[in-house]
């Protein structure tokens, strides 16, 4: 792959709606912050083909994941499944690096499904402990991690507070304790061959995330979900110095569009020599594109 024409690699992109689903022009169905954010900028309802065009026009590649259609919970109507994500990646190999979301409450934590997806071409996995209701170091998940580690693929974990349920009654039942990144320290020790990406500035556990990324060789941090103008100063300090090779561009598109994130990144206090590492070089190495 010729990366010379790629401006940046966004490692944190959410799929919008299935190409087979009708467009919803009504407001968000849920009464929480995430539902409202998804509608911003008119890009929340993009099909995979539309997202591919959006990113191609900007000279960007991205990691985007589908949904487990056979898990313990029904997928939301119109969701992009893991198999549809693979099909989209085959149509748009210049843009998409396909990730998958496997329901960890399947038998053996979805290990067999992960094996199937890897054989089909999946390049990484996404986990969201707060919405799944699990700690990342729960040993019931280890059969799944073993499959991912054997393939040498990255596992991306939501960390910190989440917009899912925010503002709804009782936070929509989401328990924030599962987002503490400290539990990933155990996973990093037990699976040294599985690259780990801690997604988002890990509010209110930023220092824990920085310590883990500094201490564990295969652990990275993506900067998604926040505008760079609001990053904690300590995160910027470490990204500019000790962790300059372990911090990744992630937008959380469409909650924060790639356009807004990159515009705000230009004005943030990152060193000129570090910017290309964050935007592309670190991800290209991690994802074995370079």
Give the burial class of 265: count Cβ atoms within 10 A of its Cβ; 0-12 exposed, 13-18 middle, 19 or more buried. Answer: buried
Average pLDDT over residues 74-90: 92
User: DSSP alpha helices (H): ranges in 216-257?
Assistant: 233-240
Residue 52 token pair: 């591919």
Which residue's structure tokens are 């670190």? 282
Residue 259 token pair: 């356009």
d(CA 20, CA 84): 10
287 within 8 A of 124, measured Cβ to Cβ: yes
Which residue's structure tokens are 């890009």? 43
Residue 40 has pLDDT above 70, yes or no: no
Q: What is the pLDDT of residues 162-218, one digit of tens each?
A: 888 788 888 888 899 999 999 999 999 999 999 999 999 999 999 999 999 999 999
pLDDT of 224: 97
84 within 8 A of 117, measured Cβ to Cβ: no
pLDDT mean across residues, the chain: 92
Q: Which of 212, 269, 255 is nearest to 10 (CA)?
A: 255
Average pLDDT over residues 97-116: 97
Termini Cα distance of the chain = 8
Q: What angle do CA 62, 68, 71 make, to 5 degrees?
A: 160
Average pLDDT over residues 100-120: 97
d(CA 1, CA 289): 7
What letter does residue 219 receive in the DSSP assignment?
E
Strand partners, 64: 13, 98
Residue 178 token pair: 């599962």
pLDDT of 172: 87
Percent of the residues in the chain that have a pLDDT greater than 90, as a whole number: 81
d(CA 70, CA 235): 38
d(CA 169, CA 183): 27
Task: List the domains of the chain with CATH numbers.
Answer: 8-286 (3.20.20.140)
Q: Which of 258, 275, 269 is nearest to 231 (CA)?
A: 269
Cis peptide before 209 (omega within 30 of 0): no
pLDDT of 43: 60
């Amino acid at each position: 792959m010729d990366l010379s024409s790629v401006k940046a690699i966004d490692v944190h992109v959410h799929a919008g709606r299935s190409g087979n689903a009708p467009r919803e022009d009504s407001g968000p169905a849920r009464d929480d912050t995430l539902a409202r954010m998804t509608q911003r900028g008119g890009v929340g309802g993009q099909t995979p083909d539309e997202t591919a065009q959006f990113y191609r026009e900007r000279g960007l590649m991205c990691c985007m994941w589908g949904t487990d259609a056979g898990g313990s919970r029904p997928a939301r109507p119109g969701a992009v499944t893991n198999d549809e994500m693979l099909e989209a990646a085959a149509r748009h190999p210049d843009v998409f690096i396909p990730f998958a979301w496997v329901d960890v409450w399947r038998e053996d934590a979805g290990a067999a499904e992960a094996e199937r997806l890897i054989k089909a071409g999946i390049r990484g996995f996404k986990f969201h402990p707060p919405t799944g209701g699990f700690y990342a170091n729960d040993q019931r998940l280890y059969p799944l991690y073993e499959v991912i580690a054997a393939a040498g693929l990255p596992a991306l974990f939501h960390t910190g507070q989440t917009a899912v349920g925010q503002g709804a009654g009782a936070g929509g039942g989401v328990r924030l304790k599962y987002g503490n990144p400290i539990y990933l320290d155990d996973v990093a020790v037990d699976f040294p061959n599985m690259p780990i990406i801690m997604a988002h500035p890990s509010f209110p556990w930023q220092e824990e995330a920085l310590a883990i990324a500094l201490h564990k060789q295969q652990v990275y941090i993506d900067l998604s979900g926040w505008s760079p103008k609001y990053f904690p100063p300590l995160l910027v300090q470490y990204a500019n110095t000790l962790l300059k090779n372990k911090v990744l561009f992630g937008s959380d598109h469409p909650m924060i569009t790639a356009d807004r994130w990159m515009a705000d990144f230009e004005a943030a206090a990152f060193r000129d020599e570090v910017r290309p590492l964050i935007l592309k070089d670190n991800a290209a190495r991690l994802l074995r594109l370079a």
